[in-house]
Amino acid sequence: MKEFQQEAGADFLLRGDINTIAGQDGGERVKYYNVNLALVNMETNRNGWVGQKNIKKLASQSGAKF
């Protein structure tokens, strides 16, 4: 953690996690991504920003297999 008037070191820390859920919808593979992030002030140890994003990706499967 940064000390008072210390210029060397980070001011903020970005931390978070990414969760993936895979599934099937008909002939398509579906992946859901849940991203949670927080920007933490290193001096006060308080969250400066918190964000969450949900993403859905589709991938169709072809009928040919080798």
Q: Which two tokens stand for residue 45?
A: 């140890």
Q: How many helices (H) and strands (E) would you count in the chain?
A: 0, 3
> Cα–Cα distance between 66 and 7 in angstroms, integer?
59
> pLDDT at position 34, please?
96
What stretches in the chain show pLDDT beneath 50?
Answer: none
Q: Which two tokens stand for residue 59?
A: 């991938």
> Cα–Cα distance between 58 and 35 in angstroms, integer?
17
Q: Is the pTM of this model over 0.75?
A: no
Rg (CA), the chain: 20
